[in-house]
């Protein structure tokens, strides 16, 4: 944990020195373990989270018990944007997809800064728009593109937030996030492994040819990536 720094989160790194000096004493470094639930659907948001090495998956839960991922949040962002949009709850469930660490901050403290209408407010709104683009593009992708293309998109977005090309995750968990049958993920992963793009062993996927994935992925990955770069280019360059 000693090696984890707030500036590993791109949004925190973009805060002014004065804003960081004000908020950092209230930021608590916490472990985020695989499978930890940070928010439940409909629950009140008491904290916001700035992941550094962890990745959080936002799921929409159906009455039938099924679910699918609507977005992911890693070191590029913050978990808890519903607060900025005027609500104290969220309809999605937030669960740790990749274990690591992050910083937790009381929601009321960030909202106090947001309400001042300064740089933090503008930064949070830009990030919220980028997250909304990711959500809408995920919905389009899940409806119109093949499981193989969806898996490529998901792998590339996860790599963008990761410090390693090896991902610790099961095919069953990927199937739950994509909202498809496990057999479909098994088939798609088998094809990608056959192409030489990934190496798969139980619970682990290693990307060995990123360019290959980029050649197979649908347009959705580029749309999300381009919009994030447009809205947050000053953040990503830090």
* Element containing residue 188 per DSSP (H, E): helix 182-195
Is there a contact between 47 and 110 (Cβ–Cβ < 8 Å)?
no
6-121 and 146-217: identical CATH topology: no
Which pLDDT value is given to residue 71?
A: 93
Which pLDDT value is given to residue 238?
A: 45
CB neighbourhood size of 220 (10 A): 24
Architecture of domain 6-121: Sandwich (2.60)
Collapsing DSSP to helix, strand or coil, 91 comes out as coil
pLDDT by 10-residue block (mean), the chain, 238 residues: 80 90 94 93 91 94 81 94 82 91 95 90 92 92 93 93 87 84 92 94 90 95 90 65
Domain 146-217 class in CATH: mainly alpha
Collapsing DSSP to helix, strand or coil, 110 comes out as helix
Q: Is the pTM of this model over 0.85?
A: yes
Which pLDDT value is given to residue 60?
A: 86
Name the E strands within 40-197: 47-51, 55-61, 67-73, 92-98, 100-106, 166-168
Q: Where are the domains of the chain?
A: 6-121, 146-217
Is there a contact between 45 and 63 (Cβ–Cβ < 8 Å)?
no
Name the E strands within the chain: 28-32, 37-39, 47-51, 55-61, 67-73, 92-98, 100-106, 166-168, 198-201, 204-207
């Amino acid at each position: 944990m000693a090696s984890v720094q707030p500036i590993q989160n791109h949004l925190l790194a973009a805060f002014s020195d004065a804003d960081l000096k004000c908020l950092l004493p209230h930021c608590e470094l916490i472990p985020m373990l695989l499978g930890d639930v940070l928010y439940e659907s409909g629950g009140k948001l008491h904290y916001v989270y700035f992941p550094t090495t962890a990745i959080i998956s936002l799921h929409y839960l159906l009455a039938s018990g099924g679910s699918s991922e609507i977005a992911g949040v890693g070191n590029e962002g913050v978990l808890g944007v519903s607060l900025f949009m005027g609500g104290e709850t969220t309809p999605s469930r937030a669960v740790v997809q990749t274990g690591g660490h992050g910083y937790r901050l009381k929601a009321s403290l960030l909202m106090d800064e947001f309400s001042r209408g300064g740089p933090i407010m503008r930064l949070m709104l830009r990030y919220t728009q980028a997250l909304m683009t990711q959500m809408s593009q995920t919905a389009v992708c899940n409806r119109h593109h093949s499981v193989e293309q969806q898996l490529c998109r998901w792998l590339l977005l996860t790599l963008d937030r990761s410090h390693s090309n090896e991902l610790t995750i099961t095919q069953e968990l990927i199937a739950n996030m994509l909202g498809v049958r496990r057999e479909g993920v098994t088939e798609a992963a088998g094809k990608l492994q056959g192409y030489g793009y990934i190496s798969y062993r139980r619970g682990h996927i290693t990307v060995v040819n990123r360019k290959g994935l980029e050649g197979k992925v649908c347009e959705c990955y580029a749309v999300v990536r381009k919009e994030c770069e447009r809205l947050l280019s000053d953040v990503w360059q830090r």
